[in-house]
Amino acid sequence: MSKRISWFKEVTLNDVPSVGGKGASLGELENAGIGVPPGFVITTEAFISHMFKLDPDGAIMKTIAAIDLGDAKRIEDETEDIRRAIDGSMLDDAFASELVAAYQALGGETDMPVAIRSSATSEDSSDASFAGLQDTYLWMRGVEQIKEALLKCWSSLYSVPSVTYRRRLNLPENEVAMAVVVQKMVDPSCAGVMFTRSPTTGDRSVISIEAAWGLGSSLVSGEVTPDKVTVNKITGEILNHVVSTKTIRHVPIPAGGVDVTDVPEDMQEASCLSPEDIKTLCVVAKRAEKLYRCPVDIEWAIERHEGEAAQVYLLQSRPETVWSTKEKARSEEKLTGPALNHVFSIYSGKKI
């Protein structure tokens, strides 16, 4: 394969510039022996090459860099035009052939369902989180659906939320690029997120788990109130387990895509997770935290087949940003606060 396509086993966290935050994370997890659905990454080289052919003069980059954040109407109009141009573009024949070959190598089928996930170079760092700002497409089947989803992932780099967020962070536009993950689809009985510190208090001694029936997209979209579990990270004791009423779930459509269906009545008030599931998730969460050397935010799924042990997959792992950002700000405040100024005044002989 050329540099336009890299398999998970070929990349690590050092490869963010070429495979983006999500792609690098999945490669790191696979190489550490942590279960992830197999897949590959369409690298930033493919994106840059495509954008150069679409916009050889760099007008798009200049337009975004010049946008006034106070002009909401202009942001909406400019980004809509850019996305329309990318969505309506065509992949070059050589790259399209590479993509077909990689898709067939992944599953050996012409219509195997895959997830198509955006993986921007600026996302999933310890300083910023672009989670939810770029597109993800689940249960895509066949080359044509994959091509369409790929273009939409590329164009989602120019959505209003994405452009606004990175402009507020003053990220240079020439340092922003989009890789795209193509990953064999999991058909989970349940899925969700977990954090290796409390998302509400910042407590690092606990693991917080949220779970819903079916695909995790129902939870991410906010359509379902998930079950919530809090576990002592050291002892493994379940400190709290709240089971919510879950009336809908996201399930795959055989021809491609995702549908919303009713949860059977006998499952609506039932827990998505058994004590054994919770134990397994916590073991994997601690392995991921050790790998990243910091608290992490994880997306997971559990697939079950009759007569087989449940299989836990990590779909993504990234550094937790909310509490780490607060801690960083407090540390910087201490370093520049009155106490340090007093020390400087003693050694300088001047009163500050």
Closest by CA position to 115, among listed 191, 182, 22, 36? 182
pLDDT at 138 over 70: yes
The pLDDT-based confidence of 176 (bands split at 50, 70, 90) is confident
Provide the 3-class DSSP secondary structure of residue 42: strand
The reported pLDDT for the residue numbered 332 is 61
Helices (H) and strands (E) in the chain, counts: 12, 13
In this predicted model, what pLDDT tens digit does every residue of 263-309 receive, in sequence order? 999 999 999 999 999 999 999 999 999 999 999 999 999 999 888 88
Closest by CA position to 213, among listed 224, 199, 202? 224
The reported pLDDT for the residue numbered 131 is 52
Closest by CA position to 301, among listed 152, 178, 139, 121? 139
The pLDDT-based confidence of 352 (bands split at 50, 70, 90) is very low
Higher pLDDT, 10 or 131: 10
The pLDDT-based confidence of 195 (bands split at 50, 70, 90) is very high
The reported pLDDT for the residue numbered 339 is 52
| Lookup: tokens for 248 | 């809908």
The reported pLDDT for the residue numbered 329 is 67
* Average per-residue pLDDT for the chain: 89
DSSP secondary structure letter of residue 272: S
pLDDT at 351 over 80: no
The reported pLDDT for the residue numbered 75 is 94
Pairing outcome for strands 136-140 and 114-120: antiparallel
pLDDT at 344 over 60: no
Start-to-end C-alpha separation, the chain? 62
pLDDT at 128 over 80: no
Topology of domain 190-320, CATH: D-amino Acid Aminotransferase; Chain A, domain 1 (3.30.470)
Q: Report the C-alpha gap between 9 and 27 in whole angstroms.
A: 6
Dihedral of CA 197/215/190/271: which sign?
positive
The reported pLDDT for the residue numbered 342 is 46
pLDDT at 41 over 90: yes
The reported pLDDT for the residue numbered 334 is 60
Upper half-sphere CA count for residue 183 (Cβ side, 13 Å): 29
In this predicted model, what pLDDT tens digit does every residue of 311-341 receive, in sequence order? 999 999 999 877 767 776 676 666 555 555 5
The pLDDT-based confidence of 345 (bands split at 50, 70, 90) is very low
Report which residue type is found at 331. Answer: S
Q: Tokens 């370093």 — which residue?
A: 335
The pLDDT-based confidence of 134 (bands split at 50, 70, 90) is confident
Provide the 3-class DSSP secondary structure of residue 80: helix
Q: Report the C-alpha gap between 103 and 97 in whole angstroms.
A: 10
Closest by CA position to 181, among listed 351, 327, 15, 338? 15
pLDDT at 157 over 90: yes
In this predicted model, what pLDDT tens digit does every residue of 203-259 receive, in sequence order? 999 999 999 999 999 998 899 999 999 999 999 999 999 999 999 999 999 888 999
Question: In what side-by-side order are the strands of the sheet with 136-140?
Answer: 5-7, 39-42, 178-184, 114-120, 136-140
pLDDT at 182 over 80: yes
Q: Report the C-alpha gap between 117 and 148 in whole angstroms.
A: 12
CATH class belonging to 5-184: alpha beta
Domain ranges of the chain: 5-184, 190-320, 322-352
DSSP secondary structure letter of residue 214: B
Prediction pTM value:
0.87
Asked if 121 and 179 count as a contact pair (C-beta separation under 8 A), the reply is: yes
